Chain A
């Protein structure tokens, strides 16, 4: 079983890199899907079954479907292609390398090691217990955030924002 975690960890990184170097949008989306699924497997392996399933359902499932719909709407024949200049590449690789090095230094350099949290925290019962007691307010307030997002997408997405009044005048 130990070997599985390494396989999926490496797979998730490879998919992530592939996502960056692919030229067609559909391939980028599929690589993202591969990355999400590999991470979900890692969660499940760490006994965080619920988080793993959420990752599969929400990200690999619904979010991916949205991505695919948008791609088919915007670019049905796969005409849009990305071009990466070598300067851009060096820029990205150096930034990512910098952050990665910093993280390695921080995680291995700190005296207090991060301990694994008891896996019983991850059960659905424990999760819902917390969600509806301690974290009730943030959970409810997020609805405002979503509402604001909806207002924004309607506001920017609608072609004509006219009032009934104006339509009558035009007609």
Chain B
């Protein structure tokens, strides 16, 4: 393949997504109200085409930098891009009927979702800090709008405004950190900075470098909801439209981790001992706050918000371990988390009914055997989130905790196990309410209406949660193959 075509091939999925997003914006105004579904169909088609083009042009043996040193073309990019496209695919499927039920606008939703996917892709494939920042901004800007997508709902407005203001501050801090690094090294590319840093040992202990890297960590810590930068999470998840909350819990988190892994291991491999301590404290805080906060929640969306904080903490164990097993554990966990959390949010979006009325745990009383086709998958998702064997969540935690244990982080792993034991309580509480409690007023269970598309996507998620729990080796091997490109 010539270098010129290689440039386009390495960026092809993003081009496809962008082109289809523009197409949706051109087509949507001419559609009548009942034809609006067509926009969602275009977006699903775009994601499938981008996925196929990603599969066609894999780069399994070489790591190339294209577009004048702006993006990486390697298997890590390919695998993470596949993950993001899967997220987009499942979110669009869940949104299919949800948007119609809530009387929202499919055209805007689909195009914003595609733009958010482009931003996530850019974060994972970027080889230059300025590129990473622009990717992050595209993703954040789209999610701010999506969070406030119910324009007439006060809670949705509050959620969007909170996310926007806090997100703006965190982006500013991130950019400030990047400017420190630029002033320090005179370059913005990952390789360039790593080269400068590897030259002299005097660089490593410099407070300027420490401050720059610290600010970058704060910026990413906000996106992936690490304590102490997690405060926005429960409020934003509660107020945002449920499908969007599902997207926010997996999308920005996965993209943030993808970029953070690249930055930590490609720019700062030598300074990792300096950061490990910080990561350890943040991981402990994140796991405890997430799990303890979730116990007292009555609202299921808030509960999953706190649980998503806790899961960000578990994944941090992989960075602390800093070996191939830990890294591949993070990528495996991102996949597992995608299926189980998106599935859980999908079922919640079905149960809540028009106008998101039924979102407390009490509303779930006694529906267990009435809608087994939905409650059994939900139980699988919750058990997987709790880390019960035979599910994907168990394998993910097993790999992450095992990696941390091998690097002699005994205390940390004990705390992590304790934290996941706490989490069993609140996940099981939902299951107990569904199957063993009767409704407060007899015969007054919630009425559930669902479409075939939503049921199909719930079942797909449940299937993959079980599949990854029983046969994890294929994905684990792929993740191992991918993280080799991080140069560990």
Contact = CB atoms under 8 A, between A and B. Distances in A.
A134 B68 contact: yes
A106 to B, nearest CB: 4
A148 B112 contact: yes
A138 B134 contact: yes
A161 interface: yes
Interface in B293-329: none
A165 B33 contact: yes
A148 B144 CA distance: 10
Contacts of A103: 211
B131 A117 contact: no
A112 B112 contact: no
B67 A164 contact: no
A163 B33 contact: yes
A152 B145 contact: yes
A132 to B, nearest CB: 10
Interface stretch (A68-76, A82-90, A139-147): A139-147
Contacts of B131: 137-138, 141
Contacts of A165: 32-33
Given A135-B130, A141-B122, A161 B68 contact: no
Contacts, number: 90
B145 A151 contact: yes
Contact of A141 (B68, B138, B145, B202): B138
Interface in B119-135: 119, 122, 128, 130-131, 134-135
Contacts of A134: 68-70
A145 B207 CA distance: 33
A155 to B, nearest CB: 6
Interface string A101-144: 01101110111101001000000000000000111111001101
Interface string B92-110: 0000000000000100100
B18 interface: yes
A105 B207 contact: yes
Contacts of B25: 151
Interface size range on A against B = 20 to 34
A2 interface: no
A114 B206 CA distance: 12
Contact of A145 (B138, B145, B210): B138
Contacts of B208: 106-107, 110, 112, 114
A159 to B, nearest CB: 10
B279 interface: no
A156 interface: yes
Given A111-B202, A134-B68, A149 B141 contact: yes
B89 interface: no
Contact of B202 (A112, A133, A135): A112
Nearest to B183: A114
Contacts of B210: 106
B247 to A, nearest CB: 15
B137 A155 contact: no
B18 A144 contact: yes
Contacts of A145: 134, 137-138, 141
B479 interface: no
B151 interface: yes
A137 B73 CA distance: 15
Interface in B145-168: 145, 148, 151
A112 to B, nearest CB: 6
B115 A144 contact: yes
A150 to B, nearest CB: 10
Contacts of A109: 207
Contacts of B32: 163-165
Contacts of B206: 110-112
A140 B111 CA distance: 18
B186 A112 contact: no
A109 B323 CA distance: 33
The winner among B138, B184, B206 for most chain A CB atoms within 10 A is: B138
A127 to B, nearest CB: 14
B169 to A, nearest CB: 12
Nearest to B32: A165
A105 B11 CA distance: 42
Interface of A: 102-103, 105-107, 109-112, 114, 117, 133-138, 141-142, 144-145, 147-149, 151-152, 155-156, 161, 163-166
10 residue pairs, one from A and one from B, having the closest CB atoms: A152-B145, A106-B207, A110-B208, A165-B33, A110-B206, A137-B70, A148-B141, A137-B67, A134-B68, A106-B211
22 contacts: A102-B211, A106-B208, A110-B207, A110-B208, A111-B202, A112-B184, A114-B183, A114-B184, A117-B186, A133-B68, A137-B11, A137-B67, A137-B71, A137-B131, A144-B115, A145-B134, A147-B115, A148-B142, A155-B105, A155-B108, A163-B33, A165-B33
